Amino acid sequence: MRVRVRLQLTFARCAPGGRNPFDLELAPGGTVADALEAAAVPSAAPKVVMVNGRVATVRQVLREGDALTVFPPLEGG
Amino acid sequence: MMFGWTGRVLWVDLSSGRTAERSLDPEVARRYIGGRGLGVRHLLDHVDPRTDPLGPGNDLVMATGPLTGTAAPTGARYMVMTRSPLTGAVTCSNSGGQFPAALKKAGWDAVVFQGRASEPVYLWVDGQRAELRSAAHLWGKNVPETDAALRAETDPAARTAVIGPAGEAGVLFASIMNDRHRAAGRSGVGAVMGAKNLKGVAVRGTGRVALADGKRFRSLVTRYIRGFKKSFGDGPVPLREWGTAVTVIGTQNFGVFPTRNFQTGRFEGWEKIDGRMLTEKYLVQARACFACPIACGRGTRVPDGPYAGQGEGPEYETVYALGSDCGVDDLAAVTRANYVCNETGMDTITMGATIACAMEMSERGIIPEKEVGLGRKLAFGDAAALVRLVEMTARQEGFGRLLAKGSLRLARHYGHPEYAMVSKGQEFAGYDPRGEQGMGLAYATSPIGASHMRGDPAYIELLGVPKQIDPLTWKDKPQIVVDWQDVFCVIDAAGLCVFFSVRNYVRPDETIRPEGICDLLNAATGLDYSVDELCTAGERIFNAERLFLVRAGFSRRDDSLPPRIVSEPLPDGPAEGMVCHLEEMLTDYYRLRGWDADGVPRPEKLSELGLA
């Protein structure tokens, strides 16, 4: 299945070939964690992950066409 | 001798021109910590909560905390407390920079201004000496001019907190600007100074804050600095790299970036005005407040074009208020409007939100074109009109006289208060509460009206600090808002900055218990605070502010949000279809607070906190 990934701010440098957002091919039943690993996003780095505009955990199972957005925790404004 | 605190408060009677030194009661210091706590204790003891905010009966308190002026990371803050002319509630206008640390190093925990001077004056504090001097020659000067003049007349190394023409003219959201660019921005504290004929304060402070256990204190400072650096690995510190306007990424992602007077939460021009664009186009230098390792301040310059100029900003809140909320995606215009606010001494949030309110009423045909006086219909997205209206407000020129009263009075003037995005008459910060339920409760129950800084749930609902929770749920929010409001009282009272504190000084869960602040306070003061005692002190401060509000006539009906927020669903984005479930949250919130159904603290709660 295919999901769309947008990496923001400090994670933007992980985008393949500078393409951002980009599509990822995952096995059916793949999770947010699988997508992050496939996108080479550093696992230890604190991050906020959204799937289709809602907050997601790394264990969330993804579906065809899901849109992931990943950004670092921000200190505020 | 006290440690952490100086133990000394400067009282200035502007009516008689006399100054006096009074001791800080150690028991009051322990129970109210400093800053916001000392300020509200003073107001309860000395100010009639129904007094005319712009009359001589209103006092204005500038209070530091026991960690202000120490090496504790971000120990830079002071609090300006008075009765607000904008809202009638208490103010908690907080600022950093260098002035607060200088005041503390000069030997003062706080300065209390009473009465009204018969002619314009300024206060010169040279260490432990204080005198009032004529400011007749400074009246009418803007903030940078006043800062320069005060330092030339006193000491080149002096630090200043001053008002500009807006404060003199009684703009109801006039700010007090310190170190030229830092603002005690909200609630019109600058108008109170202006009404007192007090143009500014200049301070030379060269002493050191006495610490009870300097060795322990230094080791804690080293630990927190190291932890801060480690948390970013070899990557950049986002706030230093891109400033607070980087927060646009979070609010836009969640669909809560207020746009066109809160008609939607997604702004199509967001990438033109966010922190990355500011860095790329106009950043000259990241600037830090006293003892701050973050450096989120933006020294900026717009090099050319109709909005050329230089100064500081914009911050996130300004980018929202003067940008997306007005539908303006021209970053140069937003930055220029920010400079004008800083130079004339006005709160950028209320300024922008008031113009946004005017734009909506104009588009709906409620405000006639000729009354605005621009020669064209006022509409969202008009960058030139934005800058012009800010200038007209500062000078109280034409339609600017109405804008100078804030959005609620403006909207009432035209018979449509529903278009004012306010709580208790204070304009919202840059978060739409329909997509961030906890923020709605925080806006409605904040003692100063719709502020994000009196227990900011955006951290945990949007920004992932200290962890991420779902912003769209509401049943879980009352407890979080209560806990965060109380801990923010501790941060504000200690003299610290929220930005560093929520990441480094608190337990990293939704309770954010202030463990690190407790360690620092004990090393600084020599007391034996427990974390529980500190949390209780925070609760005491919050309830003391509530008591002031109750005595001023506020009740549950004022813990409200506009009809748009509680009954018009967000039209698009991740929070599409949501309204803010305030009423459901409020009942639980009052129960958790120990307040009755009308929002009044119960006698047993007041007794428990020593406020009866």
Q: If phi over 0 gives left and psi between -120 and 50 gives alpha, with beta otherwise, what is residue B291?
A: left
- The two tokens of residue B24 are 């800080």
- The two tokens of residue B558 are 């004022």
How far is residue B254's CA from residue B574's CA, in Å, rounded to a whole number?
A: 6
Walk me through the domains of chain B, giving residue ranges and CATH numbers: 8-204 (3.60.9.10), 248-426 (1.10.569.10), 432-608 (1.10.599.10)
State which residue of chain A sits closest to B456, comparing Cα positions.
A76
Distance from CA of A1 to the nearest CA of B (A): 23
| Helical H segments across B364-505, by residue range | 369-372, 383-394, 400-403, 407-413, 437-445, 458, 477-494, 498-504
Asked whether residue B379 carries a pLDDT value surpassing 80, the answer given is yes
Verify whether the Cβ–Cβ distance B238 to A54 is below 8 Å.
no
Asked whether residue A77 carries a pLDDT value surpassing 70, the answer given is no
Q: What is the mean pLDDT of residues B564-584?
A: 97
Are the C-beta atoms of B46 and B81 separated by less than 8 Å? Answer: no
Task: Provide the domain count of chain A.
Answer: 1
Q: What is the mean pLDDT of residues B374-378?
A: 97
Q: What is the mean pLDDT of residues B437-452?
A: 97
Contacts A52 to B, Cβ<8 Å: 574
Please tell me the predicted confidence (pLDDT) of residue B212.
98
pLDDT digits (tens, 9 = 90+) for B244-281: 999 999 999 999 999 999 999 999 999 999 999 999 99
Distance from chain centroid for Cα B526 = 30
Distance from CA of A27 to the nearest CA of B (A): 26
Q: Given CB atoms, is A13 within the 8 Å cutoff of chain B?
A: no
Domain membership of residue A18 as a residue range: 2-71
Verify whether the Cβ–Cβ distance A74 to B296 is below 8 Å.
no
What's the CATH code of the domain at A51? Answer: 3.10.20.30
Are the C-beta atoms of B246 and B549 separated by less than 8 Å? Answer: no
Average confidence score pLDDT of chain B: 97
pLDDT digits (tens, 9 = 90+) for B494-520: 999 999 999 999 999 999 999 999 999
Contacts B296 to A, Cβ<8 Å: 75
- The two tokens of residue B145 are 């001019």
Query: Which residues contact residue B512 at a Cβ distance below 8 angstroms, ignoring those fewer than 6 apart?
Result: B466, B483, B484, B487, B502, B506
Contacts B314 to A, Cβ<8 Å: none
Residues 466-505 on B with a CB inside 8 Å of A are 468-472, 498-500, 502-503
Asked whether residue B118 carries a pLDDT value surpassing 80, the answer given is yes
Contacts B459 to A, Cβ<8 Å: 76
Q: What is the mean pLDDT of residues B383-398?
A: 97
Contacts A7 to B, Cβ<8 Å: none
Q: Given CB atoms, is B288 within the 8 Å cutoff of chain A?
A: no
Specify if A77 maps to a domain. no
Verify whether the Cβ–Cβ distance A76 to B247 is below 8 Å.
yes
Verify whether the Cβ–Cβ distance B499 to A9 is below 8 Å.
no
Specify if A76 maps to a domain. no
Verify whether the Cβ–Cβ distance A76 to B253 is below 8 Å.
no
Between A43-57, B46-60, B158-172, B530-544, the lowest mean confidence (pLDDT) is in: A43-57
Are the C-beta atoms of B4 and B509 separated by less than 8 Å? Answer: no
Q: Full-prediction pTM beyond 0.80?
A: yes
Asked whether residue A76 carries a pLDDT value surpassing 80, the answer given is no
Asked whether residue B533 carries a pLDDT value surpassing 90, the answer given is yes
State which residue of chain A sits closest to B464, comparing Cα positions.
A73
Contacts B317 to A, Cβ<8 Å: 77
